[in-house]
Each structure stands twice: as structure tokens, then as C-alpha cells.
Amino acid sequence: MKPPKTHIKTQTSMAHAQGCPRLDSLKYDEACFEVAFNSSEKHGVKVLAQTAECYLCDLEELGHLPAKGGNHYFKINNTAYPLKFAFVDDRDDQPLCHLKFHFEEHGLYRLNISNNTCSPVETIEPPHNIYSPFLHLIGAYVICLILYQLFKCSHVFLLSWRSRSSLISSEIRNDLGSVSSGGDSAVLLRTEPPTPQKKNKARVKALDAFRGIAICLMMFVNYGGGKYWFFKHSAWNGLTFADLVFPWFTWIMGVGIAISLRSQLRACVKRKQIFISVLRRACVLIILGVILNSQHQNDLSQMRLPGVLQRLGLAYFIVASIETCFMEKQTVDQNSARWIFMPDMLESRAQWFVVKCLLGTYFLIILFLPVPGCPTGYFGPGGLHNHSAFFNCTGGATGYIDRLVFGENHLYQRPTSAKIYKSTIPFDPEGLLGVIPTVFLMFLGVQAGRILHCYQSTDARVKRWIFWSVLTVAMAAVQCKFAKEGGYIPINKNLWSFSFVLVTASSAFFIFFALSLLIDHFQLWSGTPFRQAGMNAILLYVGHDVTHDVFPWSWKPHSVSSHFEFLFMNVWATALWMLIAFALHKKGFFITI
């Protein structure tokens, strides 16, 4: 169903302005566009535009160039994506020209229209380099690192000097002789038995470091990501840094399930007790997620029910329950394997069968469930997509099931698709149907953890992690046809599409194998400071969510003309939590669920 025509004419990435503002008064991701219109004809020109990120969307009318001609100015509100625009003769609606151009922050651009032709876009004032704040940040980090190393070296030198001074004094006293209680000169030596040390459970440091990297990137993204587009979630199809964080957490939780359950089974813990523990942890995650949602809306009639922790809790319960039922106490003998992946696959054949059944059910639902007013098998963003043909069909079956189960008032009200595609119905990226692909991603993490048990040599483990990384990314590439749009199954974080799960799993396998070599095998890096953050991940997640708009983690920026202050503020907030995690690690204080 198409929306009313008045709805289509909404604000886009380009807004008409009476006069071009001074360039130094523009905000971040804004630019100025001047159109010089000279025509001998007694007719005007309509200006149409649309961001290139809006796939299969019609251009929207933004303004009108009157017949008398002159210079007209437009402010570009979003320079993150290229802009498609057209100039149309208002007598017969014939286009004079179609253009696509990527305006950049604080640039001044000009286009001339004369004799019913358009010139190429000229750059009058060069744009700002939006990446210069990163260079300043890297410079500041290098300076801090040098100062830290100097302090560390001076501290070591001071300790060494004190130790040497103490040794010299001891030698002098020995040369002069020391009087014992018995009156004889002697050096008294005291031998004490070593203090018994508590045996700590062996931890996979690479896993803690990976979890720490994920939580730090999540905090940075949630605080604002410096207002850069690549630290924001994709409008619909596509992949950004922000889209990787939640899948990494899911995958890491799967690795933890494999390690934890195997340890409990080997310790002869009853499966019934393990299941109760799994259920308790899942309930705590779900309840905690609902409580965090109530910060933004505590009206029970409108409070959002799905969320990140809720999705993790449900997926954890399903995966951990499957593993509790089918995981063996001992690993399969790797000498019996003929293929490169045989022992870990052989051991988990029952689990794979259950997960494949879940995936089959998922595909049957999204492809064949009838959705009123929408085509079967549609999983687009709705709104302006596909020339506004399916305006109220955002997410297809995925969105429809959430609206049936939770109701529109209990879903996320500002989906990422709304800004680009102008969709108006709520859509939740952590909805109910997406739990199944999340289960599959977590199960792939279990597979990575199972490799740790089945193979003792680093070489064998790395080969298998690389194999899984290559396999999953190849499958994802085929499904999306190596393109952002137009594939069989596009990469989509909002829907947790199968290709999205595979490509994020591939990145997780690759990062984990790299960290394992760097930290656990070659021991070239201790994992600091990410390892300490990863060991208190739930505390950091809850803490950063509660203090999102609280000083000293955030404040109202003094300048909004560039990304600099936003980047500094968001990096500072993340670093502050990392310092807190480091201090708590020193104290031996950890919060786990």
C-alpha cells in the first residue's frame, strides 16, 4: 500500500536554505551546495534528491528554481552517503540532468544550469578531513604510551638502585661483622617454607581479551562513536563496525559454553544441576535486560520488551540446554579422525541435527508465512523501498511476528530504517524470530570451543579455526552475491540474516585464532587492558548503559561543527570504564552471572 503523497515529501539529506550559511557555522556532516540557474525560458526547474543509501527509492521534491534565475543555496544535512539528485523542467516534467555526487563535510560546491543543461559539480571550498580527529587521537595515545614507558623504566631503575644500595650496605655490615645474641659474629639465615598458593582455574586469555575488545567497542559505539557513520548501525542491508559487536558477544558466549559445560561434566556435576544453572543464568540476563529498558520508558503499557540481553538470554538457554543434553564428558579420540574437522564434528552430530532443524523452521517461516498486505518472503525495510510499494511491510515476517506477540507499543520505536527509508511502523532488531539465527551463531562459537577440547596442539586448532573462518565467509559471499544489495540473502543486522550470521562468525573465528597465537601461544602480548575489561564484561555493559548521559562519562558538547569533541568524549567514556575494570582486576573483584 502506498502512503499518502504528503508523507513522501519529508526531509532528506538536502534541505533548501534562503542563503548559504557561513561554512564555519555548519555542523558535522554538513556541506553547502550552490545552484546557479540561468535560463532564457520562462519556466522554472524542480529540484529532486535522495540519498544513495536508500535502495530502489524514488527521488523526493525538495524545492523549485524560479524562472527569473539566480543563485540558490541548499544545505546538505548528511554527507555520510552520496546523493542522487535531478533537475526537472516544471512544464513537461522532463529531466534536464541526473547527477550523483558525494558531498563532504564543510565543503562548498557549485553547479550551473543554463540552456537546459547542467555542468559538473565544482568544488569551490575544499571539505574538511573528517579523519583528522583520529590522527590527533593516535598522536595523544603515542605520547601517553611513551610517558608510561618512561615512568615504568624510571620505576624499575629506582627499584634496582634501592636494591643495589641495600646489597652494598649488607656487604659492609658483613665485612664489619654483626653481633648476635650469643655474642658471636655471624650471619643469621632464616629459611621459611614457601606459602602455599591457591590453584587458579586455567583461563583462555585470548577469549577474555576478545570479550574485552567487544565490550570496549560496544561502549564506544553506544556512547556515540564520535558521530561517524561507520560506527553506527546500517540503515538496512550492509555491515559497519557497530554491526559486529553484538554478534561477537554471541559467538564468545558460545565458546564459554563449551569450556564451562565440559569442565562441569568432567567434575561429575549432574546434568539436572547444570540445566538449573543454565535456566537461572538465562532468567537473570532477560530480567536485567528488561530493567535496563525501563530506564528509557518505565510506562508498562509502552515499555520495550526485546533487547540485547534478552536475546542473549534466550539464545544462551537454547544452546546451553542442547549442549547439556548431548555433550559428552570426554572428547572423541582425534587419532580416529580422517578429515580435518572430523573429531569435533563427530562429537557434536546430535547438536548439529537439532540446530539444523531450528534453521529449517526459521527459513520456512520467513519465506512462506503470509503477512497481511505484504508479499510472501519479503524482508525489506518497507517505507520508500521498492518505490514505496510495501510501505508498512518493514522486516516482513520477522516484524509481523513481533507485532503479533509483543504489540507495536512494546517494540523499538526508532529503527535504523526510519531515517533513510522513512518507515513509520516500529521494528525491533532484537525481536523474537531473530533468536534462531542468534542460536546458530552461538552454536558456531561452541564449535570453536569444542576445537579447544578435541585438539591439543596449537597448529591443529589454528587450522580448524581458519577452515571455519574461510568456509563461513565463502558461504556468506555466495548468499549475498558479493554485493550489498540484490543478493539472495543480503547481509542484514536488523534481521540477523543467515549471511550476516556467517560473515560475523567468520570474523570472530579469525580474530580468535589471531589472539590465541598472540596471547596464549607466543605470549607476545598479555591482552592488557582488554583482558581485564573482558573479565568484568557484564559490569561494564550495565555500567555504561546506566551512565550513558551522566558526567564525567558524557556532557553537552561545546562545539558541534566537527567530530573532534564527540570523538574525544566517547573515547574518554570508554577509557574511563577500562580504567575501572583494570582497577577492579587488581583488587580481584569480578561480577559474573
ω into 529 cis (within 30 of 0): yes
The rounded radius of gyration (Å) of the Cα atoms in the chain is 30
- Outline where 455-497 has alpha helix (H): 458-480
C-beta separation of 265 from 67 below 8 A = no
d(CA 541, CA 312): 13
d(CA 308, CA 290): 10
d(CA 35, CA 110): 6
Per DSSP (E only), the strands in 416-465 are none
What's the farthest any 2 CA atoms get from each other in the chain? 121
N-term to C-term CA, the chain: 47
Contacts of 246 (CB under 8 A, 6+ apart): 218, 308, 493
Per DSSP (E only), the strands in 165-293 are none
Give me the residues paired with residue 71 across strands: 36
Q: Can 128 be counted among the known catalytic residues?
A: no
C-beta separation of 104 from 128 below 8 A = yes
C-beta separation of 383 from 394 below 8 A = yes
d(CA 99, CA 23): 23
Give me the residues paired with residue 64 across strands: 46
Contacts of 344 (CB under 8 A, 6+ apart): 332, 447, 450, 451, 454, 455, 464
C-beta separation of 45 from 88 below 8 A = yes
d(CA 2, CA 389): 6
Check 233, 410, 453, 585 and give the catalytic one: 233
Separation in Å, CA 245 to CA 179, 304, 504: 68, 21, 9
d(CA 294, CA 22): 42
Separation in Å, CA 353 to CA 291, 316, 339, 357: 35, 18, 19, 6
308-326 vs 435-454: helix crossing angle, rounded to 10: 50
Closest CA to 11 of 388, 380, 384: 384
Helix (H) or strand (E) holding 173: helix 132-176
Q: Which residues are annotated as catalytic?
A: 233
